[in-house]
Structure 1
């Protein structure tokens, strides 16, 4: 059985999230998703997600092709998460191309193209501008 792992914030869930998770699931038999904690997101982006980590986990867990969800507390623990979950392949969006090659000694690393013309940040900015 091939185990796939991926990571993301998955805030303001949209079709781009569905597309990358669905494509990731096609590389194996079991899809594990690490959802960035609220604190991790704040440390990366200087803001908290619109939806709480528990809500984001519930959304991701509801997808039929996702088998397991956990909270990612630290970017530096990627290798430990991969090992703990016995993942064979790490899949990330191609906006991260090359940034996770350092884990290739514990699993295969693949970068998939993102869905064009959709971004959580852009959606948030559009919503904020409508007042």
Structure 2
């Protein structure tokens, strides 16, 4: 029986327990987990700010998590289908805040939307850190 490859994507800036939990849950859906880490430019285009940690630092952080087998740089949201094909993914995992937005990939891979960890957000963490340093 062939191994099942799971692919997911994210910025993974200011790595926190919510990131670890979603990656662990994604990994449980297959035998191999591939993670696309948003480039600095993609993050800026999505969020209007640069990440706290650089693209290379975020790649290093994510690649060192035990549930992650491979990482690559995600350059564009519009290339999801290409990334699925390039990495021969069987399952695409996204956070449930994207529910329905990637169903157009369901002919290439099973699309699963996982719930995010409640009350944990990178943006909220960054804001909290900024206000406690003042």
Range into which the TM-score falls when normalised by the shorter chain: over 0.9
Counterpart CA distance in 1 for 2:79 and 2:11 is 16
The aligned residue for residue 90 of structure 1 is 92
Structure-2-length-normalised TM-score: 0.96
Runs of 4+ in 1 over 6 A off after TM superposition: none
Alignment of 1:105-116 (within 5 A): 105-116=107-118
Per the TM alignment, residue 129 of structure 1 is displaced from its structure 2 partner at its CA by 1.3
The CA deviation string for residues 22-62 of structure 1, in whole angstroms up to 9 with x for no partner, is 00000000000000000000011111100001000000000
Q: 2:53 aligns with which of 40, 47, 51?
A: 51
Structure-1-length-normalised TM-score: 0.98
Counterpart CA distance in 1 for 2:8 and 2:26 is 8
> Cα RMSD between the aligned structures?
0.5
Is there any run of 5+ residues in structure 2 with no aligned partner, and where?
none
Counterpart CA distance in 2 for 1:94 and 1:52 is 26
Counterpart CA distance in 2 for 1:8 and 1:111 is 13
Counterpart CA distance in 1 for 2:107 and 2:131 is 45
Is there any run of 5+ residues in structure 1 with no aligned partner, and where?
none
